[in-house]
Structure 1
């Protein structure tokens, strides 16, 4: 019997994904000059031949002055049009063409880190302030060492002015236009993991009392304006998705989050990816300050954010949902689809170890027992074990898999972490 993972999925914009398996976004750390360099293109060409239903890029920053890492590709200046910026479009077209060489739609994840821009990331200078909806600093913990790590990693954020807000919205729109002109099939707005869109959405980090804060609806205005302005300048068939956090909302704020999701659904988002975590509490990497207890039924499954996704599905059955985080087996991915928790399964770390992982999962001659790729945690160096586990562990995981992506680009064998 064919796997439900092999079913095509048609998005509201008309884009058809040939199956339900998506190569999820991961940090590549391969753009030393913040352009889509040849090694990055080479890595994605490998994934293009992997049987994926869609390919999501790692972070593409909308402002070269404010980046999540020093080695992300980014928009350097205001984008005008394909004629005025012909060389720039050609550069990004090479990237888009490599991703889609074998017909797989590629979606560019576009991002602004806001207060999570490291001191060494971006062209603004190590001591310049970061941008944020409100001047709420990052807090890794209450201990002296955690406070020191936070001060060394990030400068103090400044509250964005109305002009700042307008400029950053324009940068998101410009980046999306560039991605469309370069030939990508769509963009995903990164509204999770504590980045700027997430900072606007969250009442923890958005303390504003103007048009962009004070209520769940006003906190959503920033991303809704990005979405509406982008729709006006890209083709109707160009996909616009969003990645949202599930793990950072308490029961007290749960309905506020559902209100914002309703607004996004009504605004015509093409798909919503459910993830979770921030730099302060990196659940997306399988680490958390204090892991929440799970029911036996949920614990037996693979997805990190399954219950949240199922609740969104119950309220918005028409919304195309992608669930990312923790999938390692065909059985686990099929269970999420069959339970109605999601339409698309996002796969990250296994995609690095085996860039053709979908071919294994979709091969009917391979048993469920064999259709899997279990992965150990990356060993933490002994000399860092006195540091906070939830921070060092997540950083170690991200660094390890970035190194494997770099091996993939060189045509080398990628390796799963050993015990």
Structure 2
């Protein structure tokens, strides 16, 4: 059975980690305000940032967690605010795997005991390979979170299978070097994401939309290749996925940030459009391309050539929450996106400023303020370090 849902337009607010959970990892009033702002801005589907399925495995200190310990009444209030103006609010479900900062976990779990490399090596512990039982427990956790998402009123869920998080780690021959049924061949490396999807589908039923955020490639040696990614698209489509959002890269090789782009890509703006065009041969599901769109003409061109069905927008929506309405009203609309550096490259990288600067904009909107294009990189750096320190000294209450 194919899920049939009507969306009011083709704008898709992609997930961005907000870091606006409370001490118990429930949503805060700032999240209510932020998502109401986006909904009023005209987006068709709005996807939450990183709802973690396991409160013992957080990617960031203030992640929201949706599990059996969550206060569901607070989530219902979040949904109420985020679905005004006929907007669909979907929950992005995620598990970080080994992508947990060292100050938050002394022994993260991953498909294989392989550490992150390069500049990330110092900030992340080497993981322990998951046992069969732990793999099955995480699959069940995704299913539980999806059930709760439906219960509190989210109108769809998205599995995060991109950017080096756990589901992506299982797909990667670089990070998954298991020799059991969960690793080795491409088919075995696909097993985890397919089992997560099937468990969610069994839990939420045939009529509830399930999407996935999938890497077009990992853009690193021995990572998930474009050819293998296409096979994942085909396998998920045959299994019954409803929507595929195309992204790419990991924090070891951040292609999703628009680094080292070809001239042809710059002209078309969207980073992963060529992949989406090829993916059409392997799926008839809704395709979303996220990353790079900055102008109404480029968005229209992508839709008119059937490269994608929806326009995914991340950082531009952190600066202009009513961007969809602006594009609808102005056929020549164009925007730019650029964070404010500290001026010291190593400090920018330590604070992951190309991400945290935009998180700070979301925090401003959550307080009812306007995004600030002049926000100091130094202020964001100090705030980021403060969050890290306060989390490290917190007493765990799980």
Runs of 5+ unmatched residues, structure 1: 1-10, 80-84, 141-145
- Give runs of aligned pairs for residues 221-236 of structure 1, distance below 5 A: 221-236=191-206
Shift in Å, 1:372: 1.8
> Superposition pairs for residues 173-322 of structure 1, below 5 Å?
173-248=143-218, 253-287=225-259, 291=260, 294=262, 296-316=263-283, 318-322=284-288
| Paired residue secondary structure (1:114) | coil
Distance in 2 (CA, whole Å) between partners of 1:199 and 1:417 is: 36
Q: SS at 1:110's partner residue?
A: strand
Q: Secondary structure of 2:48's match?
A: strand
Distance 1:240 1:255 in 2: 23
RMSD: 2.1
Cα deviation 1:12-55 (Å, max 9, x = unaligned): 41121111111111111111321111111111111111111110
Conservation of the 8 A alpha-carbon contact between 2:216 and 2:226? no
CA deviation profile, 1:277-323 (whole Å, cap 9, x unmatched): 21111221224xxx26x2x443311101111111111332x121000
Give me the whole-angstrom Cα distance separating, in 1, the residues matched to 2:113 and 2:297: 45
Do 1:190 and 1:243's aligned partners in 2 also have CA atoms closer than 8 Å? yes
Q: Distance in 2 between matches of 1:300 and 1:39?
A: 37
Distance 2:296 2:358 in 1: 22
User: Partners in 1 of 2:345 and 2:265 — Cα distance?
Assistant: 30
Contact 1:379–1:417 (Cα < 8 Å) also in 2 = yes
> Offset at 1:65?
0.8
State the alpha-carbon separation in 2 of the partners of residues 23 and 412 from structure 1.
Answer: 19
Tell me if 1:106 matches 2:62. Answer: no
Question: Is residue 216–residue 257 contact of structure 1 (8 Å, CA) maintained in 2?
Answer: no
Contact 1:187 1:240 in 2 (8 A): yes
Q: Secondary structure at the match of 2:85?
A: coil
After superposition, the C-alpha distances for 1:78-100 in whole angstroms (9 at most, x for unaligned) are x3xxxxx8x83222111111111
* Counterpart in the other structure of 1:24: 14
Q: 3-state DSSP class of the match of 2:268?
A: coil
Count of aligned pairs between the two proteins: 373
SS in 1 for 2:174: coil
Contact 1:217 1:259 in 2 (8 A): no
| CA contact 1:247–1:305 (8 Å) conserved in 2 | no
Where 2:147 maps in the other structure, the secondary structure is helix
Contact persistence 2:340–2:357 (CA under 8 A): no
Instruction: Say which of 297, 300, 318 aligns to 1:331.
Output: 297
Secondary structure at 2:281's aligned position in 1?
A: helix
